[in-house]
Amino acid sequence: MLYKDWLNEWLELYVKVSTKERTYLKYRQQVEKYILPVLGKFDLNELTALELQKFAASLSEARLSANTINGIVSILKISLKKAVALGITDRQFTDAVARAKVRSKKITSFTKAEQKKIEKYILSSKSLNLAGILLCLYTGLRIGELLALTWDDIDLRAGTMIVTKSCHDSWQNGHYVKVLDSTKTQSSERMIPIPKQIVSYLKEIKSRTGSKFVVAGRTQFGAQIRSYQRTFESLLKKLGIEHKGFHALRHTFATRALEVGMDVRTLSEVLGHKNPMITLSRYAHSMIEHKTEMMNKLGKLFV
């Protein structure tokens, strides 16, 4: 069997039925764009460790990110191991394929001054949709979780919200549509206590909106991710704040939480991380303002 034929069967029979639609579409895109043009012509029994490594090396030369390369290599490994398990081939050399070295991304968050500037503008603005940005600053929601959030998910009397779903933009019939989905991982499903100061603000927003979504959009399905990202970019530009991705709001929440003394386990649960070690490794080094303040306090001992 040709590898291209097996990949198509594997995608339809195994990936499509066992993963999120978004994962399936991502796999198919990477298969069609990167794998089929180079390896699709090979018979499964003709593939060798050397051919697979040459392919992986060519991805590096194409200047793809390490995460993208490793995602493509993972497709090779998973698809070929399944072929071996089913007895379609006994030639499986993926363990010999070297993965690209991944460098940890630098965590970017807003300074306290920038955060206050953003908050002040949102509180004085008549735009109800900007409330989502403020909510992310004080709950650490991912953008997909935020835009899937409905008022039914928030108990304003108890001051809590439940996160059980997310959303993404999907290209369909020539335009992007909003698709509701489950959360990123099982650990991402969680209940988050909302600071009482934010609860009062949300009550006001809810009384003024006619949408079932916390962040309303131009349709009954609420705001879409790309559109809301542009809203956020425009806000930063208007305030003269250096551009940062929307995820910087989540990083800012985590940084501020650690600065005020929140323990790592609690923060991990609020963020929906699988375990506290992920939280610790990701954020412990990002608190430069707090570190500077603590070091200066120590410096007062110097005579």
Residues 138 and 283 in one domain: yes
Of 155, 166, 220, whose CA–CA distance to 192 is shortest?
Answer: 155
Residues 133 and 57 in one domain: no
User: Among 96, 130, 158, which residue terminates a domain?
Assistant: 96
Residues 121 and 39 in one domain: no
pLDDT above 70 (res 288): no
Residues 172 and 249 in one domain: yes
For residue 106, being part of any structural domain is answered with no
For residue 184, being part of any structural domain is answered with yes
CATH of residue 282: 1.10.443.10
User: Among 71, 96, 121, which residue terminates a domain?
Assistant: 96
**Long-range contacts at 79-85 (CB < 8 A, ≥ 24 apart):** 79/6, 79/7, 79/10, 80/44, 80/47, 82/10, 82/14, 83/6, 83/10, 83/44
pLDDT tens, residue by residue, 100-125: 675 666 778 999 999 999 999 999 99
Backbone angles phi, psi at 194, to 5 degrees: -100, 130
Q: How confident is the model at residue 268 (pLDDT cuts 50, 70, 90)?
A: very high
For residue 301, being part of any structural domain is answered with no
CATH of residue 33: 1.10.150.130
Distance CA 279, CA 255 (A): 10
Residues 71 and 119 in one domain: no
For residue 92, being part of any structural domain is answered with yes
For residue 62, being part of any structural domain is answered with yes
Residues 137 and 265 in one domain: yes
Q: What is the largest distance, in Å, between two alpha-carbon atoms of the chain?
A: 78
For residue 189, being part of any structural domain is answered with yes
The single-letter DSSP state of residue 159 is T
Kindly report the CA angle at 69 between 66 and 70, in degrees rounded to 5?
Answer: 85
Distance CA 170, CA 176 (A): 5
Residue range 250-262: mean pLDDT, rounded: 91
Which amino acid, one-letter code, is at 71? G
Residue range 140-145: mean pLDDT, rounded: 95
Residues 161 and 24 in one domain: no
pLDDT tens, residue by residue, 164-202: 999 888 767 777 777 888 776 776 889 999 999 999 999
Residues 25 and 156 in one domain: no
For residue 101, being part of any structural domain is answered with no
Return all residues near 56 (Cβ < 8 A) that are at least 6 apart: 69, 72, 73, 97, 98, 99, 100
Q: What is the pLDDT of residue 179?
A: 81
The residue range of the domain holding 33 is 3-96
Provide the whole-model pTM: 0.73
For residue 287, being part of any structural domain is answered with yes
Residues 158 and 271 in one domain: yes
Quick one: tokens of 39? 């390896």
Distance CA 69, CA 269 (A): 30
Residues 271 and 141 in one domain: yes
Q: How many domains does the chain have?
A: 2
Residues 185 and 74 in one domain: no
Residues 236 and 124 in one domain: yes
Do residues 97 and 69 make contact, with C-beta atoms less than 8 angstroms apart? no
Sheet-wide strand order for 160-163: 154-155, 160-163, 190-193
